[in-house]
């Protein structure tokens, strides 16, 4: 059995939405939305893991790590994927500004 090419995606969130992300139900919903979006786009294996702190651990910095099948994407496809993730996971007013 061979290991298929995998992609590693890190989704970070702006400071404006981090206070609401202290709720475990919100984190669970965002994780499910990200998985659902990637599966709709054709990714079959999607593994997710939340991390809550940066390098030094002094600030709350939730970010979602995703490992999925598919490997490298051309720049245009990657930009389109990032936009679709932003639109799905962030409030519209914030997603537009990023």
For 52-72, write each residue's pLDDT tens digit.
Answer: 886 666 688 899 999 998 877
Euclidean distance between CA atoms 42 and 10, whole angstroms: 18
pLDDT tier for residue 4 given thresholds of 50, 70 and 90: confident
Q: Give the chain's end-to-end CA distance (angstroms, integer).
A: 41
In this predicted model, what pLDDT tens digit does every residue of 12-52 receive, in sequence order?
A: 888 888 888 889 999 999 999 999 999 999 989 999 999 98
Q: What pTM, to 2 d.p., does this model score?
A: 0.80
Euclidean distance between CA atoms 73 and 25, whole angstroms: 31
* Helices first, then strands: H and E counts in the chain: 3, 3
């Amino acid at each position: 059995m061979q290991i298929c090419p995998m992609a590693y995606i890190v989704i970070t969130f702006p400071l404006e939405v981090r206070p609401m992300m202290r709720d475990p139900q919100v984190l669970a919903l965002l994780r499910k939305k990200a998985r659902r979006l990637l599966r709709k786009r054709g990714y079959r294996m999607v593994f997710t893991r939340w991390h809550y702190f940066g390098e030094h651990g002094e600030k709350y910095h939730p970010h979602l790590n995703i490992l999925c099948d598919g490997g490298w994407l051309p720049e245009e496809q990657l930009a389109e994927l990032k936009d679709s993730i932003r639109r799905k996971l962030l409030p519209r007013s914030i997603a537009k500004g990023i």
